[in-house]
Amino acid sequence: MWTWFHQLASPPTFYRFAEVLAPWLFGTSVMLLAVGLYGGLYVAPPDYQQGDAFRIIYVHVPAAALSLSVYTIMAVAGAIALIWRMKLAEVAVVAAAPVGASFTALALVTGMLWGKPMWGAYWVWDARLTSELVLLFLYVGVIGLNQSYADPRAGARACAWLALVGVVNVPIVHYSVTWWNSLHQGSTILSAEGMRNPKISGDMLWPLLLCLAGFYLFFGGVLLRRMQNEVLWRERNARWAQQAVAA
């Protein structure tokens, strides 16, 4: 098990491993999203107050959950990159940032589209919204920092430091609805109270869980593909990379 893990850290082995795994992630994700979105958009009944507008949660909630998860993954990968100097972890930090930024932007935009009919405003200066916006800027900072370095390894490690310091924002975003009086509603699914006494109807919940799983798998596939590209670019002078491109 451990030898396999060590081998996986070498770029050629990782490249072949990702080549096999990524299509499976994408395939499963498409199936889950198809069923989840069908369940969410057609099967689930309209909300008694919000009507059909609530259906945006099938995109908004997974995107928002991923915006936090991706940053956490970046910080963990960053710690691994800095402590054990693992090349693949550096690649993961750099590869994850633009994907995380896209999910953050998607969560913000879908939230705004929902907020206009429900709250009467696209944007309010509220703890949850503001901290999510700050998260977007943190992602942008990581992307910019990486681009400003000529040496990709030094750039990736600088990004790892930034991701580690910026990770303090993640619990702030997550708990902002609990700590402050926020217009944004509290967590419906991920709470002990919600597990015992569900706050969401079952026929609305199962499509949401499928969409969440589908989004996560999609992110896994995109991350693997982006890491493959980054590894290829970094090792473009190595024989294995040239063979992989030629094949």
Residue 79 binds another protein, judged by CB under 8 A: no
Alpha-carbon distance 129 to 110, whole Å? 12
Do residues 82 and 107 make contact, with C-beta atoms less than 8 angstroms apart?
no
Residue 157 binds another protein, judged by CB under 8 A: yes
Count of chain residues binding another protein (CB under 8 A) = 25
Q: For 36-50, give one letter per residue: b (16+ CB within 10 A) or e.
A: bbebbeeebeeeeee
CB of 91 to another protein, least distance (A): 16
CB of 72 to another protein, least distance (A): 17
Rg from Cα positions in the chain: 20
CB of 227 to another protein, least distance (A): 21
- How many C-beta neighbours within 10 Å does residue 94 have? 27
**Nearer CB in complex with another protein: 34/165:** 165
Query: Of the candidates 21, 31, 34, 154, which one interacts with another protein according to CB under 8 A?
Result: 154
How many helices and strands in the chain, by DSSP H and E?
A: 10, 0
Tokens of 141: 């900072």
Binding mask 109-148 for another protein (x = CB under 8 A): ---------------------xx--x--xx-xx--xx-xx
Alpha-carbon distance 7 to 14, whole Å? 8
Residue 172 binds another protein, judged by CB under 8 A: yes
Residue 8 binds another protein, judged by CB under 8 A: no
Query: Of the candidates 79, 82, 177, 209, which one interacts with another protein according to CB under 8 A?
Result: 82
Say which residue the tokens 């000529």 belong to: 150
Rounded (5°) CA angle 185-210-127: 20
**Nearer CB in complex with another protein: 69/131:** 131
Residues in the site for another protein, rule: CB under 8 A? 82, 130-131, 134, 137-138, 140-141, 144-145, 147-150, 154-155, 157-158, 161-162, 164-166, 169, 172
